[in-house]
Amino acid sequence: MKSKVQETAQDNTAALRQNTFGTQSNALATTRGSGVVGPIVSHALLTIIALIMLFPFFWMLDTALKLNSQVFEFPPAFIPSSIQWGNFIEAWTYLPFGHFIFNTLVVAVGGTIVVLLTSSMAAYAFARLKFPGRDIIFVGYLTTLMVPQAVLVIPQFFLIKDLGWINSYQALILPSAFTAFGTFLLRQFFKGIPVELEEAAKLDGCSRFRILFQLILPLSKPALAVLGLFSFIGFWNNFLWPLIVINTADMATIPLGLQMYQGQHGQAWNYMMAGATIAIIPGLIILILVQKYLVEGISLTGLGGR
């Protein structure tokens, strides 16, 4: 009898504790002791790890603001003796950085639109429509997830060459826009949307296209955000493929441009780091914009394996 009372009391305190701290129903939280020292040490250690994670970015910006003669000083100067904001402008004039950024934006935005549009349509067909060979085709799609990019680049290179697309945007966009990943991810998500919603729309005489674009897609924002994010970043960061199909500086993307820069002006580390700093900014902006979708999207789309 007594133990039962104790149990309920414990349950209550556990529930209370959860409520007061307002954390998600996580669990390890409720079992750990609630001392004062523990949390402080834990937060301090986490902060140190976070600082270590951020250090390369600090060093990038720090070097970008130094005189080149100061870059290899030992002991290193953490605060530059005179801050050279002009390095960013110098870097800009050394190599066509404007071109790099413009090219990368065209490729990343264009590529992401192609990925979202074509894979949401294909995913809808796989998730909802009945047609002969559906499951076999889908499994075929899935197995190509294992195919490394390196296997494809040699034939893709000759294909692009024969099409006369070397040094073009379509060469940068199209070969990477049709991977099975997007179709797979969206299909999983669409499968989780109740069919009843569509039945109602169908009775109202909606076409399949309208159902997809006006009903399904607005309900799939987290999945689309995650897919859009990874596509954009994939295009933005890709290096191997531009290295193969682009050979002029004015068509280069940022990663390729940086590598060309390293080849030509290998000693100007401060300018190079100014370029690298510019290259990481979009990732930061997008991350802040979509952060609330990130965890939700990963768990909803089954990326977490559930």
Partner 1 sequence: MLQKKLETNQAVIALQPKVLNSTATTRRRKLKDIGGAYLFLAPNMLGFLVFILFPLVAAVVISLFDWSLLTPPTFIGLGNYARLLGQDPVFHQILLNTLYFVFGYVPLNIVISLGLAIWLSGRIRAKSLFRIIFFFPVMTPGVAVSLVWLLMYDRSGVINWFLSLIHIQGPNWVGSTTWAMPAVILMSLWYGVGYNMLVFGAGLQAIPSYFYEAASIDGATSLHQFWNITIPLLSPSIFFALVMTLITSFQVFDQVFILTGGGPGASTTTLVLYTYQNGFSYFRMGYAASVSTVLFLLIMVVTIGQFILQQRWVHYEV
**Which residues in 143-172 contact partner 1 (CB under 8 A)?**
144-159
Other Cβ atoms within 10 Å of 160 Cβ, number: 22
Contact between 231 and partner 1 by CB under 8 A: the answer reads no
User: Site mask, partner 1, residues 28-67, x = CB under 8 A?
Assistant: xxxxx------x--xx--x--xx--xx-xx-xx--x----
Which amino acid makes up residue 41? V
Size of the site for partner 1 (CB under 8 A): 110
User: Which tokens belong to 232?
Assistant: 């954009």
Other Cβ atoms within 10 Å of 250 Cβ, number: 14
Q: DSSP string spanning 185-218?
A: HHHHHHHTS-HHHHHHHHHTT--HHHIIIIIIHH
Residues 167-206 that bind partner 1 (CB under 8 A): 174-175, 177-180, 183, 203
Other Cβ atoms within 10 Å of 231 Cβ, number: 24
Which amino acid makes up residue 177? A
Quick one: 83 or 284, whose CB is closer to partner 1?
284
Contact between 211 and partner 1 by CB under 8 A: the answer reads no
**Given the structure tokens 């799939």, which residue do they identify?**
220
Q: Which of 2, 19, 69, 75 binds partner 1 (CB under 8 A)?
A: 75
Sequence-ordered list of residues with C-beta below 8 angstroms from that of 181, at least 6 positions apart, any chain: 145, 230
Quick one: 89 or 281, whose CB is closer to partner 1?
281
224 three-class SS: helix
What is the closest distance, in whole angstroms, from the C-beta atom of residue 232 to partner 1 in the complex? 9
User: Site mask, partner 1, residues 100-139, x = CB under 8 A?
Assistant: --------------x--xxx-xx-xxx--xxxx-x--x--
Quick one: 167 or 237, whose CB is closer to partner 1?
237
Choose the binding region for partner 1 from 9-17, 79-87, 105-113, 217-225 (rule: CB under 8 A). Answer: 9-17
